[in-house]
Structure 1
Amino acid sequence: MEGTVDGFRYGAVTPVAAYVMACLGGALGLRCIVRTLLSNQSWKAGWLGLGAASIGCGIWTMHFIAMIGFHVVETRIRYNVGLTVLSLAVAIVVVGIGVFIVGYRGASTPNLAFAGIVTGLGVAAMHYLGMAALHLNGTVQYDPFVVGLSVVIAIVAATAALWAAVTIRGFMMSLGASLIMGVAVSGMHYTGMAAVSVHVHSKVGGSWAGDSPNSLLLPMLVGPVIFLILAGVVVMFDPLLVLGDGDWNRLSAATGRTAPRPDSLFENQESRVEHARTPLDPQWAAPRSPQR
């Protein structure tokens, strides 16, 4: 018997909340990648790792918030805990591979294409691994063409996001790129869900194991959401990310000197002391004697 699949059990609540989380993760990840391009004094590995984790958590959170609204009328739905956690790890690790490729090997067309393919396949793998964690009294079937389309959307979205990260440096432009990224990621998810059909074994009975969506997904979402909030605090307290590259360039032109880069949470103490000097400080303007 074919099951009645409903992906919007709670109306627009879950799609909108999922989209917001995808945008938040994308925005934080893009700004962290931009941070490695704006200053050579930053700890590149730290910022790239934070960016990868932000994007991965945003995508994973988007998926499972959307899955809270997924419902099959004829059967209850359960989730396998191990596969659900594994899907989060896959999202962060594979996105990290793409981010580090661009961060360390440069933003050439071959690097962007390769990193976009790897990252897009990782996003798709996270989605379908998360779907594999779904247990119900029936068989989940997929339309191969629509599945392939969802994978293509994931690759295009990942490539566009990486391109935006290395090309768009202004704060507002990055924000706009993250909104587009949220549309692409959410579009990939709901395209993949459009490929789903369920053949229910029977209306009653069934001995499948797992936790219900409310008992598993809601508590598990707390951790990634808290991480994204903390990542947002790190980004908000980094002046270079808040002001953007253009503001510091204008400051340099106004003073006629290279403006000191602001400190960040990943820079060492010596860099903090250097950046604390301002043009009003006589020591800042005085020429330095060569070190012996």
Structure 2
Amino acid sequence: MGGMAAVAEINHFEYGWITPALSYTLSVLGSALGLVCAGRIRTAQTPGARAWWGLLAAWAIGGTAIWAMHFMAMLGFAVAGTRIRYDVPLTAASTVIAVVAVGIGLAIVGTGRLAAPRLLAGGVFTGAGVAAMHYTGMAAMRLDGSLSYDRLRVALSVLIAVVAATVALWLAMTVRRGLAIAASALVMGIAVNGMHFTGMSALSVHPHERTGEVTGAEVSGLLVPIVLAVVFGVVGLVYALLAAPTDDDRAGTAYLDARRDTEPVGAVTPEPAPDPVGLRARSTLGQPGTPFPSRRSTPPR
């Protein structure tokens, strides 16, 4: 037709509602875990502990809520007349981009007082990183055709990514617990999926004549290691959150230490206050050599 290249038919939902439902579930799960981990950054007692929780939050949001969601949604992506394979190094690089972008964004907004310029800078950097992850993942596709993008929709997807990242960072620094975290995770899931499918709607595929076998890894070959990475990552995050001390643990430890410090010195060596549930050991888990300062000089009567 007048020298215009043909455009292949694209199906974003080859398996129906299953892939978008799973991708949304992953984005909500990762967002919820990331928000909880980010909350621990604010209460961490040492720089090392803050860095640890920042890393976990970056993995939860960048690795699970964003990248794993992207890959799950891509399972439902199909192009008529060609098989799709993936370049493994580029696919791995897209994972690193997502985690690093979120980690740096959290570092920008998490150091010092939260202010609008700091939040905007973190949101722009993280949003640009999320967009870079998406289009790097798209560049990793190998098929019998060339890709082209509608510039307006690409710009819209980047804008959505920046806005979503800014809101996510603000929530990470302000939301604390319960229903607020759940509601925020649901909203973040919508934003992440919105950015992905907006970017996908900008894509056109122009088929080529078959010149040989398409190189790269098939989706089936990547699915098992990615699913295992997500499962072990989520289990690790949950374990880290359950094993870490809570404010109640620290308060209990402070009370036990206060009792010990105020007991009359009548014996040769005063025994430590009872600790039947291991509060003292739990309160220092992951923070060796960092005692929690007691705010009480005397035990409650």
What is the TM-score with the length of structure 2 in the denominator? 0.80
Q: SS of the residue aligned with 1:140?
A: strand
1:269: Cα distance to partner?
5.5
Q: How many equivalent pairs are there?
A: 264
Given the alignment of the two structures, is residue 27 of structure 1 paired with residue 32 of structure 2, yes or no? yes
1:211 to 211, 214, 217: 217
Q: SS of the residue aligned with 1:285?
A: coil
Q: Tell me what 1:109 maps to.
A: 116
Q: Tell me what 1:62 maps to.
A: 69
Question: Would the alpha carbon gap of residues 85 and 40 (structure 1) be closer, same or farther in structure 2, given more than 3 Å must change?
Answer: same
Question: Would the alpha carbon gap of residues 206 and 4 (structure 1) be closer, same or farther in structure 2, given more than 3 Å must change?
Answer: farther
1:264: Cα distance to partner?
6.3
RMSD over aligned CA atoms reads 2.7
Q: SS of the residue aligned with 1:105?
A: coil
Q: Tell me what 1:129 maps to.
A: 136
Q: Tell me what 1:263 maps to.
A: 283
| Contact 1:78/1:136, CA 8 A, preserved across alignment | yes
1:76 to 83, 86, 92: 83
1:149 to 147, 152, 156: 156
Q: Tell me what 2:41 maps to.
A: 36
Q: Tell me what 1:290 maps to.
A: none
Bigger mean CA offset, 146-155 vs 193-202: 193-202
Greater gyration radius: 2
Q: SS of the residue aligned with 1:230?
A: helix
Q: Tell me what 1:53 maps to.
A: 59
Q: Tell me what 1:235 maps to.
A: 241
Q: SS of the residue aligned with 2:171?
A: helix
After superposition, give the CA deviation of every residue in 1:28-61 in whole Å (9 maximum; x if it has no partner): 1111111122354581111111111211111110
Q: Structure 1: state its 5+ residue gaps.
A: 253-259, 288-292
Give 1:210's aligned amino acid: G
Question: Percent identity of the aligned residues?
Answer: 41
Give 1:178's aligned amino acid: A
| Contact 2:284/2:290, CA 8 A, preserved across alignment | no
Question: Would the alpha carbon gap of residues 45 and 284 (structure 1) be closer, same or farther in structure 2, given more than 3 Å must change?
Answer: farther
Q: Structure 2: state its 5+ residue gaps.
A: 1-5, 256-278
1:144: Cα distance to partner?
0.6
1:270: Cα distance to partner?
5.5
Q: SS of the residue aligned with 2:147?
A: strand
Question: Would the alpha carbon gap of residues 106 and 225 (structure 1) be closer, same or farther in structure 2, given more than 3 Å must change?
Answer: farther
Question: Would the alpha carbon gap of residues 41 and 9 (structure 1) be closer, same or farther in structure 2, given more than 3 Å must change?
Answer: same
Give the whole-Å Cα distance in 2 for the aligned partners of 1:239 and 1:270: 12
Q: SS of the residue aligned with 1:271?
A: coil
After superposition, give the CA deviation of every residue in 1:129-152 in whole Å (9 maximum; x if it has no partner): 000000100011111100110000
Give 2:173's aligned amino acid: V
